[in-house]
């Protein structure tokens, strides 16, 4: 439809509401407001019109506010702890110099929809130039108690540098990329980074576009507190029963819990096997004092799971060469001697932990800088404040799924 046809028929512009569910309560905690245009036999999404920069700002703003006003009128019937998520383009927020959005929210705050229940989902385009100005504006909105969500986190259009400036309440992650085998691996690394970021700044992760149960499990496992998508509920013109999926979500989360506990138990068991193997081999070759010679005999014994080994001191300085496996032989890489690895995340923390507990540590899964493959490292305390590091091969990890 032509935008002018919609703008001259605002009576048929209506809000739809997509439920957002929580992991801790297994019930609806809020709704995202979506614009629709009612025709004789269908409801057309207004999303493309809100994002069409060819439509003048004042028309898009009027369309936004029409949908919002009607949504707020319906929201007066909601429980007073239900959140209302509204979408706003950063450029339109800057254009709204008369603060129409704020006045509208304050108006309905007096009618029962407290402004503290409003979450503004900010979307950013690729050419946002005035980051500082939008940052100040959003912080101004926050002084009224309005919550801020960063939309399309992980999308190339997102302005990641604004997170530190604004400290949003919610980080919204689109799971659509998880369906692509080409993007899935790198996407998972990015999501892991976002989960750490959310924890650091005290934000909540909301995963959207959940269309299959495995995506729900992925969101749960990666620290998602809020969930949204067609697998759960499609948008409706009316609000759904808040407990509509309570039993289903409770049962599915229990399955996720059982599965994760089994994996963690298997991971613990595999860690104990590494501990036993390394301990026995070091005892067997305890008389070997030269680093390179020790690594060579260990390499032959552990070539079924190791592809790189080296020895460091307590400050992270490498005392030995690298022993690196290439196809069927071990290569000695002497250029690594005296390199320092204390800059690596958790390195010194793990050194102190091994020194205190006198046992090895298995790292989390990470991408190796040199090979680009997903690996883990098993580190083990030696005598005289020295530590052995064993990089576990990707082939071995694939054979032991608990390591993935």
Residue with tokens 């959207």: 208
Q: Which helix (H) or strand (E) holds 288?
A: none
- Superfamily for the 260-403 domain: PAS domain (3.30.450.20)
Task: Identify the pLDDT of residue 54.
Answer: 87
Residue 165 in contact with residue 131, Cβ under 8 Å? yes
> How do residues 172-226 score in pLDDT, each as one tens digit?
999 887 776 555 667 777 888 888 889 988 999 999 999 999 999 999 999 999 9
pLDDT band at 128 (very low <50, low <70, confident <90, very high): low
Task: Identify the pLDDT of residue 134.
Answer: 87
HEC readout, 27-44: CEEEEEEEEEEECCCCEE
pLDDT band at 154 (very low <50, low <70, confident <90, very high): low
Written as one string, the DSSP assignment of 142-199 is: HTTT-EEEEEEETSTT--TTHHHHH--SEEEEEGGGGG-HHHHHHHHHHHHHHHHHHH
How far CA 12 is from CA of 6, 132, 264, in Å, comes to: 8, 37, 53
Share of the chain above pLDDT 70, in %: 95
103, 108, 111, 112 alpha-carbon torsion, rounded to 10°: -130
Q: Which helix (H) or strand (E) holds 308?
A: strand 306-313
Task: Identify the pLDDT of residue 158.
Answer: 47
Q: CA 340, CA 348: separation in Å to the nearest integer?
A: 11
H helical segments located in 319-365: 347-357
Where are the domains positioned within the chain?
3-231, 260-403
pLDDT at 157 over 50: no
pLDDT at 328 over 90: no
How far CA 404 is from CA of 263, 267, 304, in Å, comes to: 9, 9, 17
| Domain 3-231 part of CATH 3.90.180.10 | no
Strands 374-381 and 361-362 turn out to be: antiparallel
What's the mean per-residue pLDDT of the chain? Answer: 92
Sign (positive or negative) of CA dihedral 83, 86, 87, 89: negative
Do 3-231 and 260-403 have matching folds? no
Q: Give the number of other CB atoms < 10 A from CB of residue 5.
A: 10
> How do residues 222-266 score in pLDDT, each as one tens digit?
999 999 999 999 999 999 999 999 999 999 999 999 999 999 999
291, 295, 298, 299 alpha-carbon torsion, rounded to 10°: 180
> How do residues 132-153 score in pLDDT, each as one tens digit?
888 899 999 999 999 999 986 6
Q: CA 66, CA 71: separation in Å to the nearest integer?
A: 9
> How do residues 34-65 score in pLDDT, each as one tens digit?
999 999 889 999 998 887 888 999 999 999 99
End-to-end CA, the chain: 48
Interval 2-27 mean pLDDT = 94
> How do residues 268-315 score in pLDDT, each as one tens digit?
999 999 999 999 999 999 999 999 999 999 999 999 999 999 999 999
pLDDT at 88 over 80: yes
């Amino acid at each position: 439809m032509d935008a002018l046809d919609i703008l001259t028929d605002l009576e048929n512009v209506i809000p739809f509401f997509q439920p957002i569910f929580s992991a801790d309560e297994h019930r609806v905690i809020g709704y995202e407001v979506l614009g629709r245009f009612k025709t004789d036999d269908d409801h057309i999404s207004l999303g493309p019109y809100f994002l069409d920069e060819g439509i003048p700002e004042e028309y898009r703003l009027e369309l936004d506010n029409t949908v919002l006003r009607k949504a707020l009128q319906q929201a007066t019937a909601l429980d007073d702890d239900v959140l209302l998520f509204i979408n706003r383009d950063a450029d339109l927020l800057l254009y709204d110099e008369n603060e129409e959005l704020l006045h509208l929210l304050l108006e309905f705050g007096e009618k029962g929809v407290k402004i503290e229940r409003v979450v503004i989902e900010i979307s950013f385009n690729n050419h946002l130039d005035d980051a500082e100005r939008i940052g100040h504006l959003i912080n101004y909105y926050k002084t009224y108690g309005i919550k801020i969500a960063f939309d399309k986190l992980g999308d190339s259009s997102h302005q990641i540098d604004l997170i530190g400036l604004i400290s949003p309440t919610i980080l919204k992650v689109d799971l659509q990329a998880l369906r692509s085998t080409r993007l899935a691996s790198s996407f998972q690394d990015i999501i892991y980074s976002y989960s750490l970021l959310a924890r650091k700044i005290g934000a909540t992760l909301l995963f959207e576009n959940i269309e299959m149960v495995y995506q729900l499990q992925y969101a749960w496992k990666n620290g998602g507190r809020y969930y949204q998508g067609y697998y759960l509920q499609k948008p409706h013109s009316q609000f759904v029963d808040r407990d509509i999926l309570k039993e289903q979500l409770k049962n599915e989360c229990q399955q996720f819990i059982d599965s994760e506990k089994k994996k963690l138990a298997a991971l613990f068991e595999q860690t104990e096997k590494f501990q036993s193997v390394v301990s026995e081999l070091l005892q067997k070759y305890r008389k070997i004092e030269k680093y390179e010679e020790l690594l060579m005999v260990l390499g032959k014994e552990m070539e079924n799971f190791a592809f790189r080994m080296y020895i460091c001191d307590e400050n992270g300085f490498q005392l030995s060469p690298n022993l690196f496996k290439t196809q069927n032989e071990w290569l000695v890489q002497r250029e690594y001697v005296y390199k320092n690895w204390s800059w690596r995340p958790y390195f010194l923390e793990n050194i102190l932990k091994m020194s205190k507990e006198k046992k090895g540590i298995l790292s989390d899964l990470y991408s190796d800088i040199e090979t680009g493959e997903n690996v883990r490292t098993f580190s083990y305390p030696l005598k005289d404040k020295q530590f052995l590091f064993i990089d576990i091969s990707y082939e071995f990890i694939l054979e032991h799924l608990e390591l993935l």
